[in-house]
Amino acid sequence: MSSKAKHLNVSPRELRFEVTSTRPSTQTLTLKNIHSEDVVFKIKTTAPKRYCVRPNSGTIAQGSTVSVEVTLQPDKSSNDKVNVDKFLIQSVPIEAGMDVSDVSKVISANKSKVGELKLKSHFSFITSSIAERSKKVSRSGGASDGTANALQKERNEYREQLTRLNFELQKTKAELENVRSSGGSELRNRFNSKTATADNVATVSSSKTSKASGHSTLFLLLAATVAFAMGFYTHMHLFPEVDAQ
């Protein structure tokens, strides 16, 4: 919003509308007189057929405020698009003896004293189905918060899943690109590496089996030696040799 002279404060500083093809949309402007005298004002727009402004002119006492309703009319020929219009708010301080019955004449006769405020109106046309869904949610009262939270949670979950899938997709694309650029050599290397790993596992397993078999044989030999020694010792004590005659 730009200004030429400071007679008024305007709130909000921009207008934003969402309108369907069948329902109008209304926003409220608040004009506050910050001048030391009463002022007259007049509101103009670049699209007068599209808007209804009430009141579009009048007087504001010193320190007072006036509420202005700006209604954007429905446009059956426009859907799913965004547009911007402009508004001009002109004001003139009221002097003693000034006839303010016709604000347009007052402004034309006092051009050097005219204050101007410019603001933009942003509006978008939405389909009737979207508007009806929004209306149903707003009618549900306390349940609308729970529904909105549930929808937000579901949307966040879908977003996380999409992020993970996109990451996996990019990773797969990178791997395929590496394979393509190396002419398949990287894929063969991976296959050979996996084959070598499998062979190593088999070798280690065979080695462990051989060691276990060797330990078993050694144990049997040791047991046989101990049994033979015990038998020999028993025989010597039970059947002592007789000296030769």
- pLDDT one-digit tens code per residue, 124-153: 877 655 445 555 555 555 445 667 777 777
Is residue 207 domain-resident? no
Q: Do residues 11 and 58 share a domain?
A: yes
Beta-carbon-side half-sphere exposure of residue 187 (alpha carbons within 13 Å): 10
- 3-state DSSP call for residue 57? strand
Please name the residue that has the structure tokens 């010792």: 233
Q: Do residues 103 and 177 share a domain?
A: no
Q: Do residues 6 and 103 share a domain?
A: yes
Is residue 56 domain-resident? yes
Is residue 234 domain-resident? no
Q: Do residues 160 and 109 share a domain?
A: no
**Angle formed at CA 118 by CA 115 and CA 123, multiple of 5 degrees:** 155
Segments of the chain with pLDDT less than 50: 1-2, 80, 130-131, 142-143, 204, 210-212, 234-235, 237-245
User: Angle between the 143-181 and 185-238 helix axes, to the nearest 10 degrees?
Assistant: 90
Q: Do residues 177 and 104 share a domain?
A: no
Structurally, how many domains does the chain consist of? 2
- What is the spatial distance between Cα 102 and Cα 58, in angstroms, rounded to a whole number? 9
Domain that holds residue 18: 2-132
Please provide residue 169's backbone torsions phi and psi, each rounded to the nearest 5 degrees: -65, -45
CB 92 within 8 A of CB 73: no
Is residue 25 domain-resident? yes
Q: Do residues 72 and 108 share a domain?
A: yes
End-to-end CA distance of the chain: 144
**Helix-, strand-, coil-residue percentages of the chain, each rounded to 5:** 45, 25, 25
Is residue 164 domain-resident? yes
User: Which of 196, 214, 234 corresponds to the end of one domain?
Assistant: 196
Q: Do residues 20 and 121 share a domain?
A: yes
Q: Do residues 101 and 157 share a domain?
A: no
Q: Do residues 15 and 55 share a domain?
A: yes
Is residue 107 domain-resident? yes
Is residue 120 domain-resident? yes
User: Which of 77, 97, 132 corresponds to the end of one domain?
Assistant: 132
Is residue 92 domain-resident? yes
User: Which of 196, 217, 234 corresponds to the end of one domain?
Assistant: 196
Q: Do residues 114 and 182 share a domain?
A: no
**Domain at 63, CATH number:** 2.60.40.10
pLDDT reported for residue 245:
40
CB 139 within 8 A of CB 32: no
The amino acid sitting at 64 is S
- What is the spatial distance between Cα 88 and Cα 117, in angstroms, rounded to a whole number? 6
Tokens at 137, concatenated: 């949610």
Q: What is the pTM of this model?
A: 0.51
Q: Do residues 111 and 150 share a domain?
A: no
pLDDT reported for residue 168:
81
Q: Do residues 78 and 177 share a domain?
A: no
